[in-house]
């Protein structure tokens, strides 16, 4: 089986020589080495690694367990048998090109170093046809569950790569990372890469859901047409790069609590009922770095109450060490849309290099009444008629729109796959 062709690409994530990038990298490493007591009492984090340190040598194909991939036969049992056959030592489960119907039976991964790998996802969401490897789920729960509510040890080294997971809008989660608070056990040091998750709009639904996690990475991931694209209930040291979140009916990304999160190279588009990114800041969230990110036409339904990027703590539970640098906001001029960015209840934080095409009176940037920014209003790049509302505080060095926009990055595009 070792000659089965499958994609095993690992892209290096390069960080620019920027003091804030160095800072957040250090914070992520420190956060991973020792999860704080305030984030989850009793949790002991595992050593930091964005990608699993070991890849087991066993490779099995779901076709050898009876999977057909014809969009007609129910392949849930065959795929689960392939996963279970690897046992505690883990290995790779290969899903050749095809449409794998799993009905209402979700898949479960409970062993370390288990990898689920297909022949390609639909990252940029422009393909008129299905992704090469498609898993179709028609139930109301989670299509793929990593870990379990009763797990007694930390689960690590899980990889899901090069496939698409699609629901029928009734499902709660496309991919769910479990957490057992009774034993403080979670999923850590795992990777999702070149994966699309679409059609999960059930109660509190999300394309990808983290109940809690440590040192998990999303890379070249597309979440579309879900309730929430990505939902994080808690955790430490997340790394998200090249993320596309589009057309989700709730939020593009919804976060209750996080200690250590780097978002780099992300596009959040057309989240219709809430902000593109909502960070609630429960339990003193901190060490959040948002850079090279594009927000466009989010919050089109309830725009009068919300913004494209909404960050707020909760009373004494402030968000500390927040860095927003090199972020672009775009609007097609829908009258119901709110402003671009709202910040409140922050500790020591930094905002710089913001661009918006807004021409209406709604704010590009609005501060709440309880903030502590190291700098604000400096080198903020905005539209000529857009406004900045900072509760009467004087803002200096507000620049007109330049010919070229510093730190601006285009939305992610399809990457040419070797040999395809």
Residue 333, in any domain of the structure? yes
Yes or no: say if 410 and 266 are a contact pair by the CB < 8 Å rule: no
Residue 292, in any domain of the structure? yes
Distance, CA of 352 to CA of 54 (rounded, Å): 39
Spell out a b/e string for 284-301, using b for 16 or more CB atoms within 10 Å of the CB, else e.
Answer: bbbbbbbbbbbbbbbbbe
Residue 395, in any domain of the structure? no
Yes or no: say if 351 and 376 are a contact pair by the CB < 8 Å rule: yes
Yes or no: say if 190 and 216 are a contact pair by the CB < 8 Å rule: yes
Residue 1, in any domain of the structure? no
pLDDT of residue 327: 84
Residue 276, in any domain of the structure? yes
Residue 415, in any domain of the structure? no
Residues 6+ apart with CB under 8 A from 46: 32, 154, 156, 188, 189, 214, 215
Longest dimension (CA), the chain: 68
Distance, CA of 420 to CA of 416 (rounded, Å): 8
DSSP letters of 98-129? Answer: EEEE-TT--EEE-STTEEEE-S---TTS--SS
**pLDDT > 90 fraction of the chain, expressed in percent and rounded:** 43
Yes or no: say if 32 and 47 are a contact pair by the CB < 8 Å rule: yes
For 67-107, the pLDDT digits (tens) are 999 999 999 999 999 999 999 999 999 999 999 999 999 99
Question: Among the listed ranges 144-158, 203-217, 328-342, 386-400, which one has the minimum average pLDDT value?
Answer: 386-400
What's the number of domains the chain is made of? 1
Residue 2, in any domain of the structure? no
Classified as helix, coil or strand, 309 is strand
Using pLDDT thresholds of 50, 70 and 90, give the confidence band for residue 379: very low
**Site of tokens 């087991």:** 56
How does DSSP classify residue 401?
P
Distance, CA of 114 to CA of 112 (rounded, Å): 6
For 228-280, the pLDDT digits (tens) are 999 999 999 999 999 999 989 889 999 988 899 999 999 998 887 778 898 88
Classified as helix, coil or strand, 418 is coil
Question: Among the listed ranges 35-39, 52-56, 267-271, 326-330, which one has the minimum average pLDDT value?
Answer: 35-39
Residue 38, in any domain of the structure? yes
For 212-224, the pLDDT digits (tens) are 999 999 999 999 9
For position 315, which CATH number holds?
A: 2.160.20
Q: Range of 133's domain?
A: 24-389
Using pLDDT thresholds of 50, 70 and 90, give the confidence band for residue 332: low
- C-alpha dist (Å) from residue 370 to 243, 287, 295, 348: 31, 18, 25, 12
Distance, CA of 100 to CA of 47 (rounded, Å): 35
Distance, CA of 133 to CA of 368 (rounded, Å): 46
For 168-220, the pLDDT digits (tens) are 988 889 999 999 999 999 999 999 999 999 999 988 889 999 999 999 999 99
How does DSSP classify residue 346?
B
């Amino acid at each position: 089986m070792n000659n089965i062709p499958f994609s095993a690409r690992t892209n290096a994530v390069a960080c620019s020589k920027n003091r804030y990038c160095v800072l957040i990298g250090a914070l992520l490493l420190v956060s991973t080495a020792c999860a704080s007591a305030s984030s989850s009492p009793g949790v002991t984090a595992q050593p930091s690694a964005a990608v699993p340190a070991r890849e087991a040598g066993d490779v099995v194909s779901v076709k050898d367990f009876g999977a057909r991939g014809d969009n007609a036969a129910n392949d849930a049992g065959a795929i689960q048998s392939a996963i279970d056959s690897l046992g505690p030592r883990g290995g790779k489960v290969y899903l050749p090109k095809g449409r794998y119907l799993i009905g209402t039976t979700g898949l479960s991964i409970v062993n370390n170093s288990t990898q689920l790998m297909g022949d390609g996802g639909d990252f940029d969401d422009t393909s008129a046809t299905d992704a090469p490897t498609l898993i179709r789920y028609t139930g109301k729960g989670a299509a793929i569950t990593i870990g379990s509510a009763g797990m007694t040890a930390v689960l690590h080294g899980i990889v899901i790569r090069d496939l698409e997971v699609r629901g029928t809008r009734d499902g709660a989660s496309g991919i769910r990372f479990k957490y057992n608070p009774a034993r403080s056990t979670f999923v850590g040091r795992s990777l999702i890469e070149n994966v699309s998750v679409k059609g999960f709009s059930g109660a509190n639904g999300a394309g990808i859901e983290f109940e809690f996690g440590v040192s998990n990475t999303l890379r070249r991931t597309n979440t579309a047409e879900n309730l929430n694209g990505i939902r994080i209930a808690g955790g430490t040291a997340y790394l998200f790069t090249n993320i596309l979140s589009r057309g989700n009916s709730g939020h593009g990304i919804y976060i209750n609590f996080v200690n250590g999160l780097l978002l780099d190279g992300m596009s959040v588009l057309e989240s219709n009922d809430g902000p593109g990114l909502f960070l609630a800041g429960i339990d003193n969230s901190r060490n959040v770095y948002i850079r090279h990110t594009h927000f466009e036409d989010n919050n089109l339904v309830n725009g009068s109450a919300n913004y494209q990027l909404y960050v707020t703590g909760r009373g004494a539970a402030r968000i500390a060490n927040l860095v927003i640098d090199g972020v672009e906001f775009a609007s097609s001029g829908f009258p119901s849309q709110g402003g671009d960015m709202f910040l409140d209840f922050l500790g020591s934080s930094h905002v710089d290099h913001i661009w918006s095409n807004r021409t209406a009176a709604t704010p590009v940037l609005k501060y709440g009444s309880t903030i502590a920014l190291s700098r604000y209003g400096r080198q903020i790049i905005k539209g000529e008629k857009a406004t900045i509302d900072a509760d009467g505080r004087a803002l200096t060095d507000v620049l007109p729109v330049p010919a070229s926009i510093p730190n601006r990055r285009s939305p992610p595009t399809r990457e040419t796959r070797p040999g395809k």
